[in-house]
Amino acid sequence: MSRPSALVRILAAAVAAASLATPALADVGFRVLNIPDPSGAQIEVGVWYPTDAAAKPTPFGLASQTVAAGAPFKGERLPLVVMSHGNGGFFGSHYDTAIALAEAGFVAAALTHTGDNYRDQSRATDMPNRPRQLSLLVDHMLGAWPEKDRLDPARVGAFGFSSGGFTVLAAAGAVADPTRLGRHCGAHPEYFDCALIRASGPPKAWAQTTPDRRLKVIVSAAPAIGYAFTEASLKTLTMPIQLWQAEHDRVLPKPLYVEPVRAGLPTPPEFHFVKGADHFDFLPACAPEAVARAAAICTPTPGFDRSAFHVELNREVVRFFREKLR
């Protein structure tokens, strides 16, 4: 048999390199946990993870997800991404991103924020409570969780949207100045956050959040109350940050939310400006029959393909975490 030509050897090497750069996608397991909170009720958590078990479509929230419920775990030393939803959401608000992460070899753990979810809005403006709860989730996943030995504690990232986008930045060390809320709402009483404060009241206490140094990489989509972060605290965020903004965000309109964060970071973040998108396009597309039940978040934005955008969103989020959580 003749020796392979140089071209064949080059092609073989290229294929091998591509297989290393883009691992084969795994099936996805899914479990629901309840973790203790010393300051209140247990916190509901959804966990998506790699498995060898066959996944199947399962009704979930306003759509369906293809997972293997309760399946055994696959893999060791896996990176962890904790996830924080927006106002009125729940742990499954970004299930498609969680699935994409699990397919790529991550464990994605998303919590339902106590008092700020679709069932309970009693603490909807208690923003300092959110980063505290996110750190409790990291505590549990790296500590009491029975599968903790499958995780790499040195590779922990965080993803958040809207109020969750605020949450992950605050957990990483950004500090909000509560006096800026009053000034902002005096000038913009019609904005969503100001209407929420009028309905629910301002936070009763604004405790200083201790930065969670375990968070090595941050993805923040349409972060809420970006104007409230102090410039000095934003300068402390030296970890890699991916920042997303919707062009036509009617909930958190330009230039008071994303822009102060982007301008205040010590190193320019990886910035994604989504042309044609509105605020809720960062949520996965709803099943057609669910649109009437949740019109505010499910109604399609005219001229914008939310499903196609989520292919891009999830690809870029996974790539960023994969590159930066080496």
Three-state secondary structure of 116-128: CCCCCCCCCCCCC
Q: What is the pLDDT of residues 5-18, one digit of tens each?
A: 333 232 233 323 33
Q: What is the pLDDT of residues 78-132, one digit of tens each?
A: 999 999 999 999 999 999 999 999 999 999 999 999 999 999 999 999 999 999 9
Average pLDDT over residues 60-81: 93
pLDDT given for residue 202 in this prediction: 81
* Percent of the chain whose predicted confidence (pLDDT) is above 70: 91
Q: Determine how many CB atoms are found less than 10 A away from the CB of residue 205.
A: 9
pLDDT given for residue 24 in this prediction: 54
Strand 241-246 relative to strand 217-221: parallel, antiparallel, unpaired? parallel
pLDDT given for residue 20 in this prediction: 32
Q: Is the pLDDT of residue 257 over 60?
A: yes
H-type alpha helices, the chain: 6-21, 95-103, 129-142, 163-172, 179-187, 192-200, 231-234, 258-264, 295-298, 306-324
pLDDT given for residue 19 in this prediction: 31
Q: What is the pLDDT of residues 268-312, one digit of tens each?
A: 999 999 999 999 999 999 988 888 889 999 999 999 999 999 999
Q: Determine how many CB atoms are found less than 10 A away from the CB of residue 15.
A: 10
Sketch out the chain's domains with CATH numbers.
26-324 (3.40.50.1820)
Question: How far apart (Å, rounded) are the C-alpha atoms in residues 54 and 152?
Answer: 25
pLDDT given for residue 208 in this prediction: 66
Average pLDDT over residues 154-161: 98
pLDDT given for residue 10 in this prediction: 26
Check: CB of residue 116 under 8 Å from CB of residue 133: no
Q: Is the pLDDT of residue 161 over 60?
A: yes
pLDDT given for residue 254 in this prediction: 95
Q: What is the pLDDT of residues 18-57, one digit of tens each?
A: 333 344 577 999 999 999 999 989 999 999 999 999 999 9
Q: Taking CA 260 as the corner, what is the angle to CA 176 and CA 324, rounded to the nearest 5 degrees?
A: 90
pLDDT given for residue 291 in this prediction: 87
Q: Is the pLDDT of residue 136 over 70?
A: yes
Q: Is the pLDDT of residue 1 over 60?
A: no
**Would the CA dihedral through 112, 322, 75, 64 be positive or negative?**
positive
Copy the structure tokens of residue 183.
Answer: 């000034």
Q: Is the pLDDT of residue 234 over 70?
A: yes
